[in-house]
Amino acid sequence: MPVRLKVKNLRVNHPDKPSQRYMGDLLGMTESNYRKLESNVLESIKLDHLDKLTDFFNCNLDEILEKVSN
């Protein structure tokens, strides 16, 4: 069962409205790779990135990750 990231929704609904460039810098990746992450094009994500995202958005993993049925 595939897993999808819901970071775009979290980012656009965040009170600070962080840019994709800001989020890429936060994670230590390029803006282009962050865009791929938001659009679920990347095949993998580092656990460190998930940790930083949960800290930034002050949420749990289940609010970032979503199982998608085929």
For tokens 């979290």, the residue is 10
Nearest Cα to Cα of residue 26 among 49, 3, 6: 49
Domain extents in the chain? 3-60
Nearest Cα to Cα of residue 58 among 22, 3, 14: 14
In words, the CATH class of domain 3-60 is mainly alpha
For tokens 């282009």, the residue is 32
Question: Would you give per-residue pLDDT tens digits along the chain (70 residues)?
Answer: 588 999 999 999 999 999 999 999 999 999 999 999 999 888 889 999 999 999 999 999 999 999 888 7
Q: What's the predicted TM-score (pTM) here?
A: 0.87
What pLDDT score was predicted for residue 1?
Answer: 54
